[in-house]
Chain A
Amino acid sequence: MTPSSEAKKSCENPAVQPSVVEGAFADLLAGPFDKVSITIPTGLRARVAERASQSNFSSYVTDILAQEEKRIALIEFLDQLDEEFGPPSAEQLATADLRWEEMWQRYESSTALS
């Protein structure tokens, strides 16, 4: 993205209503807001417009960007724990998979009964 395409101007009322209103990202989501011009494929824009019709494009994109930033932050946090504790053993990974599988099996058997 070129500097000119990143040209921004202050936006007083963007009607952005992020789904997350508490936590470490609260300050980032509270504003002030910038208006940013981006270039995306027409087909993708049309598809997103359908999905975001009940809110608006800005809040949809803000939510996606915030969630992606959190996802990256979570992976970085887990990387730091791995550095601190060392890489997981095969037994630890197997236990994690087993617990996950047990959760799904419990859920699937209960929903099959209901």
Chain B
Amino acid sequence: MAALRIIHSLVLDASALGAASDKNSPLRFQLRKAAARGTRIYTTSATLTEVLRGSSRDVNINRLLTSINVQVIDGSVGRAAGLRVGRTSIRGNVTIDALVVEVASRLPKPVAIVTSDFKDISALSDPDMMILDLSI
């Protein structure tokens, strides 16, 4: 018998927060299924800095934020995320990506990160994390 494919924690990065209310993205249908299965949805406080600009585009993101968990970045998470970047050979600024992955690593498993930046997120993530690729 196939194992039940239940995800406990689903973490949205900046691209996912935007895609959730995109007419053509499949993410809103996946979020509906996740909600029906009791999956807890998260993002990070650092991610808000990436997406919120005080424009009309914020409206749907703010509506979404009322229904998900926003995990605060503290010193422990920041330190561990930095070490996470150091263990990779990634060039360029992946600070927020690393914070997202570090937050995900501390949530109940199974955990999945939703992103359109599959390459960097997968380089930063642990083997027991899943990644839902929005870029395909």
Q: Which A residues contact B (CB, under 8 angstroms)?
A: 19-25, 67, 70-71, 73-78, 80-81, 85, 88, 92-93, 95-96, 99-100, 102-104, 106-107, 110-111, 114
Contact = CB atoms under 8 A, between A and B. Distances in A.
Q: Is the interface of A mostly helix, strand, loop or mixed?
A: helix
B68 interface: yes
B84 interface: no
A53 to B, nearest CB: 18
Interface residues of B, number: 38
Contact of B69 (A70, A78, A102): A70
Given A21-B72, A70-B68, A85-B23, A96 B127 contact: no
Interface in B4-34: 5, 21, 23-24, 26-33
A73 B35 CA distance: 10
28 contacts: A20-B70, A21-B72, A22-B72, A23-B66, A23-B70, A24-B65, A24-B66, A67-B40, A67-B69, A70-B69, A71-B35, A71-B38, A74-B35, A74-B41, A76-B67, A77-B63, A78-B28, A78-B31, A92-B24, A95-B26, A96-B27, A99-B26, A99-B132, A99-B134, A100-B33, A104-B5, A104-B130, A106-B131
